[in-house]
Chain A
Amino acid sequence: MNITLHLTNSCNLKCSYCFVDKCERFMDRMTAFKAVDFVVRRSLEKENFGISFYGGEPLLMKNLIYDTVLYSKARYPDRRFSFSLTTNGLLLDEQMCLFAKNFGLLIAISIDGDKNVHDMCRVDLNSQGSHERVVNAAKMLLKYKPNAVCMATVNPETAPYLSDSVKYLYDLGFTYVVCTINHFAPWTDEDLRVLKEEYGRIADLYYEKTIKEDKFYFAPFDIKISNYIFNKSSKETCSLGERHISVTPEGDLYPCLQLVDRDEYHLGHLDTGISDEKRKKVHELSKSIASDCEGCTLYDRCRNYCSCANISASGYIDKVSPLQCEHERMIIEISDTIARKLYKKKNALFIHKHYNEMYPIISAIEDKLK
């Protein structure tokens, strides 16, 4: 069971592609603690919990993060929690990094690329670029958490620099890079052609790093390859209303990040509980196959299940957008080409990374030994 706590809608940046309605809303301690109790109550005895801190900028609420993590561990010592947050890095400090290291809090930091690319969209409230500050924060984070994740958002205007951006992030020290396209943006066919070329260059980088046995995780490539190898339908990862709940600063419950504050998806409140009828209805809706996709052989490998992406791009929870369809086909084709080449070469790192179920454990121990 996963729960996302929307700690605040406020932010110290005003990124051009942000979809959050910036207003002064802050979660209090009681609401956060109730949310933890709620998720434990609704879970099976041995189930793990994922708790994500979300914003706005979650580090505007550092104390609440500390309190919630400590409360969870103290109140439920026999249960297993994993904590995560994504930050713009501006308020990241040594104390938070140390806390993250000691309590297993996964911190992902948002950097779109070098100064030119990053500052195109990620500016502060005075419209000043935030690159220098986030890079300083990233270096500090990597000192404490060498496997920290970097999240990059791609827009039509930053797409031509994508491969350079990924190289830049790798050189900065990030071996885990997660790249997401902005589904709200007005992508054109030409933009997608450029994006495809850039993905092709990243594929070359991925290939080169793997051959050299340098660690490099790049999403979406690794996700597509791994899901295919383990025969995992993408749908299994979507838990809309079933295994995931988003909690607003006021304690209202919604099935998904981007459905928050939409009346039609309101599932209940921490004080009054969740409406199972509504939850099931939303979940059923998310499972229905969009007629446009029926018969597509890539159906199970596609992110068509993702309600967030569908809502953002097509306006409908169960309908993919042409952008999503083109992008998914592009990503699957490129990911498979890399995988095919590396499999053909019987590359040991690739084979163990994707076929050896013990790889994550070995990889983690390997990092510790270094």
Chain B
Amino acid sequence: MKICKARRYNAGYPTKEETLIYPELLKNMPERWKGLLVSGTLFSSVLLASCDPRTLFNRTVPVVLAGDAYVTLTFAEDEGVEIIIDEFLAQGIEFEHAYRVKVNAELPVDVEYEEEFEYHTLKAELEVDGMSKDGTIYFEFVSHHDFSKWTDDKVLIDDYFTRGEFLKEFFEDGMFETENGEIVAAFYNTQGFDYGSMEEELRQQVRDFIKMMEEQGIL
């Protein structure tokens, strides 16, 4: 038990101010309220007013609706893993959760610092998140926590969390091999504001990986 400072943290859901760019947020009323709506009553007026986007705007001080006002969302580890397994299944490949399966791998890292490329190798022990039914292919959903375990390089860690593009480059091939030649698919944590498009991006990563494996004759 110790005092430990959190260096970077992303709650993953917006603050009230940040939702002001989404006035439709309160539009959907809980089902339990709908039964209470009786035409012409004061309570019904209050209920309806509270769900009106215009009310949301009028109640709160406006903020800048662009740039830094946006919040960056990411998937929690278990959410990401569920989506990946689901997409594999949708493509006809059965994967399951892998618990306490560790593999050792060397991760090639090409990073561009101010137009100069640097090449690194990270030695990583992975506790993989999922594995194919036949145990030949693993996958790793790379979370911030995972990444921090592999390197002390704060710039790399910061980049992981702040630059989605970096991730795409980092895991361009979407896979790496372990010391024993096992294949590990690496899927990066997508970022954005809208979970729907983030999920689609993650599913696309899975489809790209499958396509690449098929092209190489592995699948």
Using a CB–CB cutoff of 8 Å, the interface residues on chain A facing chain B are: 187-189, 192, 213, 228-231, 292-298, 320-323, 325-326, 329, 332, 336-337, 339-341, 343-344, 346, 348-349, 351-352, 355-359, 361-362, 365-366, 369
B9 touches A298 (CB 8 A): yes
Please classify how large the interface on chain B is, using the bins under 10, 10 to 19, 20 to 34, 35 or more. Answer: 35 or more
Number of A-B contacts (CB under 8 A): 111
Contacts of A356 in B (CB 8 A): 26, 50-51
A228 touches B50 (CB 8 A): no
Of the candidates B5, B33, B195, the one having the most CB atoms from chain A within 10 angstroms of its own CB is B5
In the complex, B2 has a CB within 8 A of chain A: yes
B3 touches A337 (CB 8 A): no
Q: Which residue of A lies closest to B9 (CB)?
A: A297
Using a CB–CB cutoff of 8 Å, the interface residues on chain B facing chain A are: 1-9, 11-17, 19, 25-26, 28-33, 36, 43, 46-47, 49-51, 59-60, 73, 76, 79, 195
CB distance from B102 to the nearest CB of A (A): 20
Give complex CA distance A295, B46 in Å.
43
Decide yes or no: A229 and B15 within 8 Å by CB, A187-B1, A213-B30 being known contacts: yes
B15 touches A231 (CB 8 A): yes
CB distance from B8 to the nearest CB of A (A): 6
Decide yes or no: A336 and B12 within 8 Å by CB, A298-B6, A349-B30 being known contacts: yes
Contacts of A351 in B (CB 8 A): 25-26, 28
Contacts of B33 in A (CB 8 A): 362, 366
CB distance from B192 to the nearest CB of A (A): 12
CB distance from B76 to the nearest CB of A (A): 5
Q: Which residue of A lies closest to B198 (CB)?
A: A344
B3 touches A320 (CB 8 A): yes
Which 6 pairs across A and B sit closest by C-beta, in order of nearness?
A296-B5, A340-B12, A358-B50, A343-B13, A344-B195, A349-B30
B26 touches A339 (CB 8 A): no
Contacts of A228 in B (CB 8 A): 11, 15
Decide yes or no: A339 and B13 within 8 Å by CB, A213-B30, A352-B26, A356-B26 being known contacts: yes
Decide yes or no: A296 and B79 within 8 Å by CB, A336-B11, A352-B26, A362-B50 being known contacts: no
Decide yes or no: A229 and B16 within 8 Å by CB, A341-B79, A358-B50, A365-B43 being known contacts: yes
Of the candidates A296, A340, A359, the one having the most CB atoms from chain B within 10 angstroms of its own CB is A340
Of the candidates B11, B26, B29, B195, the one having the most CB atoms from chain A within 10 angstroms of its own CB is B11
A329 touches B2 (CB 8 A): no
Decide yes or no: A352 and B50 within 8 Å by CB, A213-B32, A231-B16 being known contacts: yes
B30 touches A352 (CB 8 A): yes
A213 touches B1 (CB 8 A): no
B11 touches A340 (CB 8 A): yes
Give complex CA distance A294, B47 in Å.
43
